[in-house]
Every structure is written in structure tokens, then in C-alpha cells.
Structure 1
Amino acid sequence: MQNAKHIYRIFADYLSQYFKTRLAYRADFLGDLASNLISELINLVFIIVVFQHVPLMGGWSRDEIIFIYGFFLVPYALFSIFFGFWDFNERYIIRGEMDRILTRPVHNLAQVCLESIAPDRIFGVISGLIIMGYATIQLKLDFYWYDPIIFIVLSVSGALIYGGIYTAVSAISFFSDSRTGISPMIYNIQQYGRYPVDVYNKIIRFVLTYILPFAFVGIYPAAYFLRKETWYTYAAMTPVVAVIFFGIGLVVWNIGVSKYRGAGS
């Protein structure tokens, strides 16, 4: 508990320093925010344009696909805030900064997460909520008083699934000197989670559910709010999958750290 409180205090310090640094160049900071928002809107426009010609995808309507996409953005944005592992291999392994991390008393994974924190990614959450709001109005969805709580639980669970997968993927860097590793491939696969799994063949559905469970950060939890009872069991399993895969990520990470011998080895 004491160690957790210490990490929280460090997190607050990192957050404070982040905003001091970013706000020193306000135009650059606002430009990044605008580019992130524009990127998400371009993806939304792409979906809308596609569904002008394809009104249904595997029995799913355009607005349902839009709702799933909006939901998909929320856990991904939460993950992006705390797990900026995109340059982990080059920065910490090839440049040797992992040696510095290992000399400090705070857990090494917590340090890596804190050093790559990106609070501006919170606008991905806002974009997702706006997109979901639009689809909700179009679909005339009804919600219960406890649905916001379920939404938070499922969103955080989705972020932990991302965190577990990319923590494990980053840990592979301890065994390889590749600058990018397999992260680009995993990133491409995760995009399949934006769409209903029943539009894919059995192999892809199996991968997205049991191997790289990106379906649990998009279609499965979103299906609950869309009142798709067929997928309720999968939606309910999302927190369980989050605990399992985040746990796997930590185990793989710790194994990788134990095998690390330094930049000069």
C-alpha cells in the first residue's frame, strides 16, 4: 500500500511536469490536440462514407457500427495515456535507458509508464463519447441508471487488455534488438476490434477473442449498450479477460526484465 501511494505521488509529479513542459509551447500543444481530433473525425467520415453504399454489415447497421467505433476509442485513449510503449525498444533497450530505470527503487514498469504518460490523449475519450452520443441519438437507445458505472468498468477493462497485450509485446524487446518488434503488426490487428466479429471468418474471430482479445475492447462491451443479448456473456467477461491478460503482460514483462543484461551486454 505504501509503495502504491509512493507511485501515485510520483504520478502527480510527472503529470505536473508534463503540463509545465507542454504548455511552455502552447501552439504546439494545441496543434497536437487538433491533429488527434481531426484523425478520429477522418476515421468517422470514412465509416459514414462506406456505409452510404453498404447499409448493413453482417446484419449491423451503420449507426451501430459508428457506436462500436466510438466505444472502441475510449479504452484505446485511456490506454494511450498511460502505456506509451511505441518507442520502447529503441529508447530503453537500444539507447540503454533501461539501465537507468533499473537503478531506481520504483517498479520499472511503473517508471516506463510514467515517463511516457500522454494526458493529451484524453481527447480520444471525448471524441469517442461524442461519436457514441451521435449514434445513440440515431439509434434512440435507452439506458439504465447503472449503465454509466458499467461503461466505466468496461472501458477501464478494455484499457487494461490493451495494457497487458502491449506490455507483453514490449517485453519481447528484452530478447530482440529489432527497433520496432511486432508492435506494428499488433496495432494493425487491433483495428479489427472496431467491427463486429461475426463479419469475420472463424479463425479471425478466435484470434480476436482468445489470442489477442481486441474484440473485448470494442464489439463485445459495446454490444451490451446496443442491447445485443447474444453478446451479453462476452461483455460480462470483459473484466475477467482484462485481469487475465494484464496479469500475463506483467508476468512476461518481469521475465524479460530478469533476462535483461544491460545495453553493453
Structure 2
Amino acid sequence: MRYAVLFWEYIKNYAKTRLTYRADFWIEVASDLLFQFVNLIFILVVFQHTPSLGGWSELEVVFVYGFFMIPYGLFSTFFGIWNFSERYIVKGEMDRVLTRPAHSLFQVLFENIDPPSMVGSIVGAGIMAYCWTQMGLPFHLTDLLLMLVLVVGATLIYGGLYTALNAVSFYSDAPTGIVPLMYNIQNYGRYPVNIYNKLIRFVLTWLLPFAFVGVIPASYFLEKKSDDLSQLALLTPVMGLIVFGLGLAFWNHGVKKYRGAGS
């Protein structure tokens, strides 16, 4: 309840700021939508040159991309700490955070909450619904509950990985690092992993499990029951808890090693 109250207070402060600069809010929403639209266009262009991609049809790949957008939108909303190193380590704002009684990670996350990114999740759900009807997939109410569980698990995978990556800043105060590289690697998770070689497939499934934020959970609803990917789908929430737990542990260890911004 304590963190729920804190979260609500941060949301109110965010709303006050955005009401002052309303144009910035809508510009951010528009830019996010444009970014996702360009990625979708790329998929459609690819299928102008091939009828299938690794045995996946155009609608199936677009369906996977729609699912990918939902946890990615939630992650961008609640874990948008892209500039953590520069703002909190280099500029010393972490010192301020550590003087407060609330957990440091939650403070940092609440300070960088970004509700406009939620629009991407809504668009992704719309894309999934369209593809679902076009492919004539069966729908059951239990699918909604399972979808929620899988989305939460996928979001936790995102959150855990980027929490761990940002925690590296506690050991090195360089304003740039491997976060931009990881941002590019995550894009591979929006496509069927069976189109990659075995090494990349292993990395995206078990080392940097970005396949669990897109193609693996989405494949469960595509009636690919004999596919190895769909058989792994129910492991998504388990992977989410494991990855986020490891990321949080690495963050807590990094905070203990933090010695302040200095002069």
C-alpha cells in the first residue's frame, strides 16, 4: 500500500507537469506511434518479396509484432530509465534518491514514468485483435487471462534485463554503455526465432530471453501446438520472475557499492 500511494503521488505530479506542456505530451504520443508504424511497414515490405518467413505467414508475423508491442509499451511506461547513468550517476541525483526511505529502484522508476508509451500497448492489442479475426483463431475467455499472465511475464523480462544493465553504472560512471546495444538486440525478439541460426536462437531464448517477450508467448495463440516455441510459452511468467529477480539482486548489490558522485 505504501508504494501504491507513492505511485499515485508521482502520477499526479506527472499529470500536473503534462497539463502545463500539453503539446509535448501529444508530440511524444505521435512520435511513438510513428516509430511503431515504421516497424510495421518494414514487416509488410518484407512479405512483398516472400510468401512466408521461416514457415510463418504475414498475418502470423504481424500478430507476433502486435503482441510484442503490448509488453514493450508497458515496459516503456514503467521502466523508462534510458538515461539513468547520465542523470543519476554522472550528475549525482542518485545521492538524493538514497537519502529517502523508499527503495531506490522504485523511486527511479516512479520519477521516469511515461504514460504516453501506453498508447503503443493499445495499438498492439488492436493489431492482435485484427489478425486474430482474419486468421479465424478460436477465442475463449480464458485466453484473456492467459494473455494477461504472459504479458506481465514478458514485461518483467524487459524490466529485469534493463534493471541489470543500468545497474552496471554503479560500477562504471560512463554516461554511455551497453544499453543502446541491448536496445537493438531486443528487436530480434519480435520475429520468429527459427529464422536465425542455432547460436542466436539460444542467446535470444535462454541468455537474453527477448524471444519470451514476443514470438514465444504469441505462438501459443497461433495454434502451433506442435511447434517448440508454443510449448515454451507457459514458461514466460517463470522467466519473468527469474530475470526480474536477478536484475533486482544485481541492482541492490550495485547500490551497496555506490560511493556517491564525488566532485
TM class by smaller structure? over 0.9
Once residues 40 and 73 of structure 1 are traced to their aligned partners in structure 2, the CA distance between those partners, rounded to angstroms, is 8
Partner Cα separation in structure 2 for residue 28 and residue 99 of structure 1: 29
Partner of 1:125: 121
Which residue does the alignment assign to 1:148?
144
How does 1:111-260 map onto structure 2 within 5 Å?
111-229=107-225, 230=227, 231-260=229-258
Contact 2:220 2:231 survives alignment (8 Å): no
CA contact (8 A) 2:78 2:114 kept: yes
Match of 1:14 in 2: 10
Q: What corresponds to 2:91 in structure 1?
A: 95
Note the alpha carbon deviations across 1:154-200, whole angstroms, 9 max, x for none. Answer: 01110000000000000000011221210011111100000111110
Asked if 1:52 is matched to 2:48, the reply is yes
Q: Alignment partner of 1:177: what SS?
A: coil
Deviates more, 1:79-88 or 1:134-143: 134-143
Shift of 1:140: 1.6
Quick check: 1:79–1:163 contact (8 Å CA) kept in 2? yes
Q: Is the 8 A contact 1:40 1:127 kept in 2?
A: no
Superposition TM-score, scaled by structure 2 size: 0.97
Shift of 1:32: 1.4
Partners of 2:126 and 2:230 in 1: how far apart? 24
Name the CA distance, whole Å, in 2 between partners of 1:177 and 1:108.
17
Counterpart for residue 71 of structure 2: 75
Cα deviation digits, residues 123-150 of structure 1 (max 9, x gap): 0111101211222222121111200001
Runs of 5+ unmatched residues, structure 1: none
Rounded Cα–Cα distance in structure 1 between residues aligned with 2:28 and 2:148: 26
Q: Tell me if 1:107 matches 2:82.
A: no
Equivalent residues of 1:208, 1:214 under 8 A apart: yes
Deviation at 1:30, TM superposition (A): 1.3
The alpha carbon displacement at 1:50 in A equals 1.4
Q: Whole-Å Cα distance in 1 between the matches of residues 185 and 12 of structure 2?
A: 34
Is residue 33–residue 120 contact of structure 2 (8 Å, CA) maintained in 1? yes
2:5 is equivalent to residue 39 of structure 1:
no
114-123 or 224-233: bigger deviation: 224-233
How big is each residue's C-alpha offset from its partner over 1:59-104, in whole Å with a ceiling of 9 and x where there is no partner? 1001100000010010011111111110000000000000000000
Shift of 1:205: 0.6
3-state DSSP of counterpart to 1:57: coil
Identity %: 56
3-state SS of the aligned residue for 1:178?
coil
- Give, in angstroms, the shift of residue 152 of structure 1: 0.7
Could you list the runs of 5+ residues in structure 2 that have no partner in the other structure?
none
Q: What residue identity is the alignment partner of 2:47?
A: F
> Please, what TM-score do these two structures have when normalized by structure 1?
0.96
Give the Cα separation in 1 of the matches to 2:185 and 2:195.
Answer: 15
Q: Give the C-alpha shift of residue 14 in structure 1.
A: 0.5
Report deviation, 1:33: 1.1
CA contact (8 A) 1:143 1:225 kept: no
